[in-house]
Structure 1
Amino acid sequence: MRNPTTLMSCATGVLLTVFIGTIAAGSSRLTLDECEAFSLVAAFCIVPAFTGCVMELYVMAEERERGAYITLVEAGVSVGEIAVAKWLAATLATLITQAVACLLLGFVASEVAVMLALALVGIQPLLLAGLACGLTAREQMSSSLLAVPLTAAAVAPILAFMSQAVRAVTWFWPLGSGAELLRAAGGMQPVVPVPLLVGIVVLWIVIAAVLVGSSGRRFARELAVERDRLG
């Protein structure tokens, strides 16, 4: 969290969420319940993209360029331990930033607690995908390219409030089902039954975890090659 990039990304996530949520509160197109759900979904989708994924993608690429991971491996730290530590840090930072954004938007503690409970699981498809990309990126330039699809996948469910056509496409995206679960928790009708939404979230988590495993093995091989070259 001492990394300036991480601190800036956390602040950006909060500011964007509060800005968009404030605009939605004054919209005549949304009912009061829809405005509240929109703000919660904004926090659910924007913050992991600008906080967790930045920690896993940009910061990991920066640390790799500096040779930090070779130093860690030589000190006896495994690639699995590096990956788990980054994932835990990204999850914790995302949840804290989401809580701050929701409180600034005026939600009470009980509402924030429900949102965070859903987010703890619901954001994992994106964070695990971000971790897989972080293990893949060799430098910050390549991390910028990988960030584009992650950001698009993250923010797309927010647009579902503006168009049923968009909602029909995004509800099964990595964060789309979680966004629909937030709607359901607020008393709104989800696009499909809740058990199906839960199943899709679990499916995305499994897919993303498989990607992390594959990326981690490649990461370990590349670090071994770099160690041999430097040694």
Structure 2
Amino acid sequence: MNAALRKIGALSVKDAKDIFRNPAIAVCALMPIGFMLLYRFVMFSDMSPEAEPAVDAFLLGTAPCFAVGMICSMTILYALSEEKEKHTLRTLMLANVSGGQVMAAKVIVSLVVIAIVDIVCFVVIGADFSMLAPFIVLTLLGSVSTVLLSLVLGLVSRDVMSSGVFALPIIVLALLPMFSMFGDGFETVASYSPCGGMYDLLGLLYEGRLFTSDAIMPLVVTFAWIVVCALLFVVVFKRMGRDN
């Protein structure tokens, strides 16, 4: 058990260092912060006091969607496919590292990076710090399904080129809740998307209605996506293990 934890820790350190060594991954990890700065101080810099609550609520829900989409598509999907292409994973396997340990390290690193980026975005938005703790809990919970889905796509992608094709659906799914404002149809679809439950829960958090019956459906959607993506990951992981 201790040996397995040490291996996961070493792999996590390696993956974290890879983020800073690879400019493409590092830039994508910082992009959500850049978008929040753009929204807050350029696009909405001259908003009226009456519009400020609506804008803050929108940014509070949008920031984690950006973070999940950009970080998962790069720190997991791109990095995993790059390791497969360079046979890094095969080398790790020969070094007595299991595939589960590799996957666990990538999940840990991606969730840590998502949490850090979300905290910075929270500060940029200027929301009440009393909401920070539940904000982080909800964003991490809402990120799990997209993280697992990114692992699935990373496992099935053959090389970096194919990962670029798979990255687009991840980003689109993550940003889908942003389009809920365009009409009831968009709102319904967005609410049932992988990040839709998280987006709705953050809206309830901002309005002070998180611990009401209105939060039941977004929670059900969030956990349903986690279960579906977890089952899909198990199936794909077992099959890829046999194929290799």
Shorter-normalised TM range: 0.7 to 0.9
> What is the aligned partner in structure 1 of residue 25 from structure 2?
6
Q: How many residues are paired up?
A: 221
| CA positional deviation for 1:141 | 1.1
Structure 1 counterpart of 2:227, from 177, 189, 206: 206
> What is the aligned partner in structure 1 of residue 237 from structure 2?
216
> What is the aligned partner in structure 1 of residue 134 from structure 2?
114
| RMSD, aligned CA | 2.1
| CA positional deviation for 1:163 | 3.3
What does the per-residue CA deviation read over 1:117-145, in whole Å, with 9 as the maximum and x for residues that have no partner? 11111111111111111121110111111
- Paired with 1:110 and 1:157, the residues of 2 have a C-alpha distance of 24
Which moves more between the two structures, 94-103 or 19-28?
Answer: 19-28
User: Is the 1:156–1:170 contact (alpha carbons within 8 Å) kept by the matching residues of 2?
Assistant: yes
Q: Secondary structure at the match of 1:193?
A: helix
| CA positional deviation for 1:113 | 2.4
> What is the aligned partner in structure 2 of residue 36 from structure 1?
56
Structure 2 counterpart of 1:76, from 93, 96, 105: 96
State the one-letter code of the partner of 2:153: C
State the one-letter code of the partner of 1:145: V
> What is the aligned partner in structure 2 of residue 227 from structure 1?
none
TM-score using structure 1 length: 0.87
State the one-letter code of the partner of 1:218: R
What does the per-residue CA deviation read over 1:73-118, in whole Å, with 9 as the maximum and x for residues that have no partner? 0011111111111111111111111111221232343333221111
Change (3 A) 1:218 1:110: same
- Paired with 1:111 and 1:25, the residues of 2 have a C-alpha distance of 23
- Paired with 1:199 and 1:106, the residues of 2 have a C-alpha distance of 29
Q: Secondary structure at the match of 1:121?
A: helix
- Paired with 1:26 and 1:69, the residues of 2 have a C-alpha distance of 50
State the one-letter code of the partner of 1:8: V
> What is the aligned partner in structure 2 of residue 64 from structure 1?
84
- Paired with 2:131 and 2:45, the residues of 1 have a C-alpha distance of 17
User: Is the 2:179–2:186 contact (alpha carbons within 8 Å) kept by the matching residues of 1?
Assistant: yes
| CA positional deviation for 1:41 | 1.1
State the one-letter code of the partner of 1:221: R
State the one-letter code of the partner of 1:95: A
Percent identity, aligned pairs only, is 23
- Paired with 2:46 and 2:135, the residues of 1 have a C-alpha distance of 22
State the one-letter code of the partner of 1:3: R
> What is the aligned partner in structure 2 of residue 165 from structure 1?
185
> What is the aligned partner in structure 1 of residue 207 from structure 2?
187
State the one-letter code of the partner of 1:183: G
Change (3 A) 1:134 1:26: farther
- Paired with 2:84 and 2:140, the residues of 1 have a C-alpha distance of 28
Q: Secondary structure at the match of 1:76?
A: coil
State the one-letter code of the partner of 2:89: Y
- Paired with 1:205 and 1:53, the residues of 2 have a C-alpha distance of 17
User: Is the 1:21–1:42 contact (alpha carbons within 8 Å) kept by the matching residues of 2?
Assistant: no
- Paired with 1:218 and 1:136, the residues of 2 have a C-alpha distance of 10
> Structure 2: any 5+ residue segments left out of the alignment?
1-18
Which moves more between the two structures, 1-10 or 18-27?
Answer: 18-27
| CA positional deviation for 1:189 | 7.3
Which moves more between the two structures, 52-61 or 107-116?
Answer: 107-116
> What is the aligned partner in structure 1 of residue 217 from structure 2?
196
TM-score using structure 2 length: 0.83
- Paired with 1:133 and 1:109, the residues of 2 have a C-alpha distance of 36
